[in-house]
Structures are given as C-alpha cells and as structure tokens.
Amino acid sequence: MAWTRNRPLGLVYHDDKHSFPGYTLFCSVRGHHATLLDWHGRIVHRWHHDEGIEHAHMIENGHLLIHTLPPKDAGGAELIGGSSAALIELDWDSKVIWEYRNPLLHHDYKRLPNGNHLILLWRHLPDGVAEKIQGGHHHHDDPEHMWGDVVQEIDPAGNPVREWRSWEHLDPETDRLCPLESYKEWTHANSIDVTPDGNWLLSFRLTSTVALVDPNSGDFKWKWGPPVLSHQHAATWLDTGRVLIFDNGCHRKRGPSFSQVLEVDPETSEIGWTYKTDTVLAFYSFMVGGANRLANGNTLITEGATGRLFEVTPEGETVWEYVSGFSLESSFGPTPAIFRAHRYALDDPRLAGAALDPRPFEALTTRIAARELAIGDEAFD
C-alpha cells in the first residue's frame, strides 16, 4: 500500500454486495487492546490486558486466547520478534480465565479439542548443530548459542504432554538459512495449524518453508517453499485440503520485494490460486501478515506492516478495506503493525448473546477516521 502523509484511516472501502458480512478481530503489535470491528468499520468491542495483547483469536467458548508482550528477560529471546511472556484466556469482559507462562513462548498457539494447547518455544540448539547449518551470515551481535524451534503440547495445568525438537528432523544441508539472516536462530517458526487427521502445519520464516509434521513419528510429511516463498507467515489449512500462505517476499533472489498470497496443494505442491497486485509494490509487508479464507470464498488479508486489512474475491477484486489508526513504538520506530486478523460470521456461535453495539465506541471510531490519535495512544477505556 502506498504510504502517504495523509493516508486514510479506518474504513476505506466496503462493497456490501460482494464482501462477507461479519466481525473483524485485530490487535496492534506492542499494544494492549484487541479490537472487534463490524462490517462498516465501527468498533463494537474491545478487550484489554495490562501485559499486552499482540496476537489473539476467539476460541470455541467465545473467549479470547492471547499472547502477551515479551518478557523482561528470556536470555536474549525476548529481543526476537514474536516473543511472548504468556498465553492467556480472557472472557468477554477481559477477565483472566486461564493462563500459561513461559518466557520462551513465541508467535503462535493452538487450543486442541481435548483442552490441551500446542505452543511454539525457543530453545538453544545442542552443541555442534549450528556449525552444520548452511547459509546465513555471522553478525557481531549473534548470541553465544543459536536458537531453535520446539513444538510442545501442554495440558491445562501447563505440563508437557509431548515435544518436537526441530533440529532432530531438519537437514542442515537442505533447510538452509536465508543468506541475509544471521546466526541468531535457525528457522523462526511463526505459525502452527492442525489438519483434520492431526498433522501439524508449520511455517518456518528463515528457511522460507512450510511443512506438515506427523506428531507421532515427528517426521516431515511435506516440505515446500524455496524458491517460490520468501520469509512467509500464517500457513493455514483449508477445508479443501490445500494450504493458504501469506508470502511476505522480503528477500526475493530476483526482482523487487513484493508480497503475495498463495493457495498450495500439498499432494502435488502445485499453486492453485494466487493474489498479488498488478503493481507489485502496492502490496507489501516485510514482516508479519496473514490470510484467512472466508465462507463465501473471499480471502481476508492482513498486510501487517502497514496495518492494512482488506478482503478480496477469488478474482482478486478488493471489496472491503480498513487501515488501523493505532501507531505504537517498536524497535522499528512508530508502527501500525498487526500480526494477524480474523473475520467471524454474523451468526458465529462464539458471538451469540454478545453485546455488539458501536455506540459506546463512536468517539474512538471517529477519532481514528479523523487521524486524531497520537503515537502510543490506544485510547484506553
């Protein structure tokens, strides 16, 4: 999205006839609120947590499951993007219902039907592993020990049920670190999803790879990415058996950097659908981002770095567009970044009986559209 000094904020466009009616959930990176919008771009509800809300989605009971901001000290891991101190369940009134704390949490999580959770953790690679990894470059601020990714299943009490250590299944020769990345960490997993048959779908940003893992054997069932993908996010399993991917495109080997959304068949590794703009630089997020397939076949896209949410038809026509008015301080300076957004249907049972009234938030909705929020102003209520 072109960045102009007076770019429009709030709802930019809405095609009533072709967009999917529903409520859109998002939260700002480094922020303390999660915000729910109606299809007219009006705020209808907000959750708040003092420790921050960087990533959130609604679970089956209608509560919000969130990642907080990074911990104060995680041995250096707190400085890596995606770090979180806790996984917390909030009710509609932002009351804490359940929590799990671990300073090495990062990026994504999944509540399972049995009440357990899948979580992503960082852990130092064992001695001798980092030296075998191909690609990358050494930098003066590389940590003494390189970080690797772990998937852990925990029970409601926080006890580990099983654990998958990435380095025990990766190949240092083929799972190559991007040459523009340092030896801070190997793969930087940034999403996890579960297929109907229980396999784990993972996205590894620094090796530009998405993969299916058999949680029983730990083996990879499918790996795909290079040379098509470049530092992607949000690999999501679709009901069709395909995988939807937000491809950031920040370190492409040829041509300009640009983002795209891909739908891939893991049986054949063939690309079945692509969204990108004719003017490639008009759609780009070098970090964060995501895509969700909606019930009418449209796709909700999070152009995360710019704070832009938009919905496209299968033909690529934009039918709904919203730009966040919240800008917060980060290691990159002031940013409107959004990790990932979600759309919930009007009749979604998770919203049954909920007060979805825009009137209490009219002043805030107006302030966003009028560009009246200062950097760091989340309009705490």
Using H for helix, E for strand and C for coil, what is the string for 257-296? CCCEEEEEECCCCEEEEEECCCCHHHCCCCCCCEEEECCC
Which residue type is seen at 238?
Answer: L
* Inter-residue contact 66 to 53 (CB < 8 Å): yes
* Inter-residue contact 192 to 120 (CB < 8 Å): yes
Q: Which long-range contacts (CB under 8 A, 24 or more apart) does 358-361 make?
A: 358/38, 358/40, 358/42, 358/43, 358/44, 361/42, 361/43, 361/44, 361/45, 361/46
* Inter-residue contact 65 to 99 (CB < 8 Å): no
Distance (Å, whole) CA 342 – CA 294: 9
Which residue type is seen at 274?
Answer: T
pLDDT one digit per residue (tens) for the chain, 381 residues? 567 878 899 999 999 999 999 999 999 999 999 999 999 999 999 999 999 999 999 999 999 999 999 999 999 999 999 999 999 999 999 999 999 999 999 999 999 999 999 999 999 999 999 999 999 998 888 888 999 999 999 999 999 999 999 999 999 999 999 999 999 999 999 999 999 999 999 999 999 999 999 999 999 999 999 999 999 999 999 999 999 999 999 999 888 899 999 999 999 999 999 999 989 889 999 999 999 999 999 999 999 999 999 999 999 999 999 999 999 998 888 999 999 999 999 999 999 999 999 999 999 999 999 999 999 999 865
